[in-house]
Amino acid sequence: MSKIYKSQSNPKQTTPWGQKAATSAVFMMLGGAIAVGGEYLFSSPRLFATTPESLTQLTQKPKEELLAAIPAPTNFVTDVVNRVGPAVVKINASRTVQTKLPPIFNDPYFRQFFGDRLPQTPGRRVERGTGSGFIISADGVILTNSHVIDGADKVTVTLTDGRAFPGQVIGTDSITDMAVVKIAAQNLPTVTLGNSEQLQIGEWAIAIGNPLGLDNTVTTGIISATGRNSSQIGVGDKRVDFIQTDAAINPGNSGGPLLNAKGEVIGINTAIIRNAQGLGFAIPVNTASDIAEQLIAKGRVDHAYLGIRMTSLTPEIKQQLKAERNLNLDNQEGVLIVGIVPNSPAARSGLRAGDVITAIDRQKISTASEVQKAVENTQVGDRLSLQLVRQGNPLALNVEVGLLPN
């Protein structure tokens, strides 16, 4: 915290003559130092090797030429933007939407009053959106968010040098909000991918993108948190543990890179919380890289699936269950299954609503996100060993993991 210091008056007041004498002495000493230093500088060939002729030439150069020779001030953000900025792209997506007529428009009684003024057939409208992306290979492979290009009829990718290319969607994955786009170009600038597992809270974060139509916008902040699960930020259908940052992220930033101080991509900017400030979220680059590899290889991602609806047994949930359903789970720790999807792997394995999952493969479970991670880390067809409590009694079940339906 800064402090304000007040000057204190000296009890001994200097006379005006004394002030002038002291000032003169100071200027004499300063002038002497300048004179001596100047003589040394101009007489020493090591420190000042310019000849009188070259000095004359130097002073005769135009001011603009002299200023251009002075290096511009820089910092690490400037360095990162200069290196990575050309690999960040703008993505325009357009989709045609069929508009449906309200049922009342087809009512003969209603039409007799309005006649030809009512639309006769459903119409169409074109929706357009703008997002960001970044180039990961010189032959035009680009990563972005799935929601940027979801359902698009036409995708256009614009580089920072103004060139625009049609974009081919290689694959999308709505579960992680990831997409891969390809453009027909060569020798493009690319980014360097970092390691999101090594992130530290408080380190620098730099976002580059095209928010609200403002192309090539750069914002800075820090890594505020890691491991934010999807339910915490209001996107419970996503299977991602997000990076939280206070670098400004707005609509249009989606799909753009979140960078560290070395200019490495550590995340993909993807989400904000409405009406909040300083709360932006990015998909960790390690997750994005894994998903991108599958999308490039086969155009889709196969997600493991159990088919349960669940909630963590927090003190608040226990109290609510006791009050609303007369269910006492005060002594239980784990994850409560609140619903089973019909014909799902969970249903076929005998899991029931009301079961409490306490461990998976002998690893203690306390939150729903831990169950989701355990499922996501398996392959379709693998078996998970679940330790449960059913109506107060311990139970073990083996569940074969299935494929998440589209």
54 is catalytic: no
Residues 223 and 161 in one domain: no
Asked if the structure places residue 344 within a domain, the reply is yes
The predicted pLDDT at position 3 comes to 40
The predicted pLDDT at position 115 comes to 52
CA separation for the pair 271, 148 (Å, rounded): 12
The predicted pLDDT at position 273 comes to 86
Last residue of a domain, one of 68, 102, 120: 68
Asked if the structure places residue 249 within a domain, the reply is yes
The predicted pLDDT at position 120 comes to 56
Asked if the structure places residue 7 within a domain, the reply is no
150 is catalytic: no
Catalytic residue among 177, 241, 303, 349: 177
Eight-state DSSP code of residue 347: H
Residues 150 and 92 in one domain: yes
Low-confidence ranges of the chain (pLDDT < 50): 1-51, 55
Residues 44 and 133 in one domain: no
Residues 43 and 132 in one domain: no
Last residue of a domain, one of 39, 68, 97: 68
Asked if the structure places residue 395 within a domain, the reply is yes
Residues 122 and 173 in one domain: yes
Residues 175 and 205 in one domain: no
The predicted pLDDT at position 397 comes to 94
Residues 54 and 93 in one domain: no
Helices and strands (DSSP H and E) totals, the chain: 10, 22
Q: Is 151 left (phi over 0), alpha (psi -120 to 50) or beta?
A: left
Residues 64 and 129 in one domain: no
pLDDT digits (tens, 9 = 90+) for 276-332: 888 999 999 999 999 999 999 999 999 999 999 999 999 999 999 888 888 888 888
* Domain tally, the chain: 4
Asked if the structure places residue 49 within a domain, the reply is yes
Q: List the domain range (segments joined by +) for residue 175.
A: 83-182
Catalytic residue among 132, 146, 147, 312: 147
Residues 378 and 343 in one domain: yes
Asked if the structure places residue 74 within a domain, the reply is no
Eight-state DSSP code of residue 210: -
Triad 396, 354, 227: Cα angle to 5°: 80
CA nearest to 318, candidates 330, 307, 308: 330
Residues 159 and 93 in one domain: yes
Residues 88 and 161 in one domain: yes
Catalytic residue among 132, 254, 349, 369: 254
Residues 241 and 159 in one domain: no
Asked if the structure places residue 269 within a domain, the reply is yes
Q: Which residues pair with 310 in a beta bridge?
A: 337
Place of tokens 């002497």: 32
Asked if the structure places residue 327 within a domain, the reply is yes
CATH number of the domain that residue 316 is part of: 2.30.42.10
- Backbone φ and ψ of 179, nearest 5°: -150, 155
The predicted pLDDT at position 121 comes to 55
Last residue of a domain, one of 149, 182, 215: 182
Percent over 90 (pLDDT), the chain: 60
Cβ density class 122-137: b for 16+ within 10 Å, e for less: eeeeeeebbbbbbbbe
H or E, element range at 123: strand 123-137
Q: DSSP letters of 14-64? A: PPHHHHHHHHHHHHHHHHHHHHHHHHHHHH-TTT----HHHHHHHHTS-HH
177 is catalytic: yes
Q: Which residues pair with 180 in a beta bridge?
A: 143, 171
CATH number of the domain that residue 246 is part of: 2.40.10.10
